[in-house]
Amino acid sequence: MLSLKLPQLLRIHQVPRVFWEDGIMSGYRRPTSSALDCVLSSFQMTNETVNIWTHFLPTWFPELESPGLSKALRAGAFAYPFLFDNLPLFYRLGLCWGPGHSCGREALSPSHGYHLLCALLTGFLFASRLPERLAPGRFDYIGHSHQLFHVCAVLGTHFQLEAVLADMGSRRAWLATREPPLGLAGTVATLVLAVAGNLAIIAAFTASLGRAPSTCPLLQGGPLDGGTKAKHQ
């Protein structure tokens, strides 16, 4: 019978400093894990398991080469669509709260408020590293900020879609008189562009799998040696 051994988990001082997370003391995966170990760890309780299943994209590859740039790119990936998607909402807020108060009751829905709240919580959790900073080691597997960040992001997306549907319902008649209806060709073309863009992103990150771990200077010396060096710095 085929049996698979789950990868060994490491403590914080057993991995290079670049992989350390504030307040997370255990549950680290080996940085030089094979592709099979990465797949198996998705079904193992590590400090990344919840993140994997709530956001199953290989965003850790840029982390190996440029941790600071990777974090900035990930923050921008959330900030840019949030600002772009909410420009109409900010405009309506200006109409409602600005001089004249020229908005109607249908201008905002509860989903808009919930979406903004989730977005603010997402940014706060991403920057504050709470609650693990207050109790290092207590939230290694469940409840640390990265997991809560993912949950808030998912909830925010849900409420954003609910708000979009509410907007469409309240403005359907107005849009019908001012915008031509979107036909099948336009819908299919938009879908094809979205799928092609996502496939290109996946292909770019998947190409990193072919790189030997030794080519990355952050991983040279192995996790135990890297952790020992970090402790003496």
Binding residue numbers: 146, 150
228, pLDDT greater than 50: no
In contact, 81 and 194? CB cutoff 8 Å:
no
Q: State the pLDDT confidence band at 100, using cuts at 50, 70 and 90.
A: low
In contact, 225 and 10? CB cutoff 8 Å:
no
Domain ranges of the chain: 12-207
- End-to-end Cα separation, the chain, in angstroms: 47
The pLDDT of residue 200: 92
The pLDDT of residue 197: 93
Q: Is the dihedral of CA 23, 126, 161, 109 positive or negative?
A: positive
Residues 165-221 have pLDDT tens digits of: 888 887 777 777 877 777 888 889 989 999 999 999 888 877 776 665 555 555 544
Give the angle 223-229-232 at the CA atoms, nearest 5°. Answer: 145
Q: State the pLDDT confidence band at 232, using cuts at 50, 70 and 90.
A: very low
Residues 19-36 have pLDDT tens digits of: 888 888 888 888 888 878
Residues contacting 31, CB < 8 A, separation 6+: 15, 16, 19, 64, 213, 218, 219, 223, 226
Instruction: Tell me what percent of the residues of the chain surpass a pLDDT of 90.
Output: 5
Residues 120-165 have pLDDT tens digits of: 898 888 888 889 889 988 898 888 888 898 888 888 888 888 888 8
Burial 16-48 (b: 16+ CB within 10 A, else e): beebebebbbebbbbbebeeebbebbeeeebbb
Binding residue numbers for Zn(2+): 146, 150
The pLDDT of residue 226: 45
More confident residue, 25 or 106: 25
- Nearest Cα residue to 162 out of 110, 118, 211: 110
More confident residue, 52 or 36: 36
Please state whether 130 falls in left (phi above 0), alpha (psi between -120 and 50) or beta: beta
Min mean pLDDT across 8-12, 85-89, 210-214 is at 210-214
**CA atoms of 117 and 28, how far apart (whole Å):** 31
Please state whether 8 falls in left (phi above 0), alpha (psi between -120 and 50) or beta: beta
Burial 58-82 (b: 16+ CB within 10 A, else e): eebbbbbeeeeebeeeeeeebeeeb
Q: State the pLDDT confidence band at 65, using cuts at 50, 70 and 90.
A: low
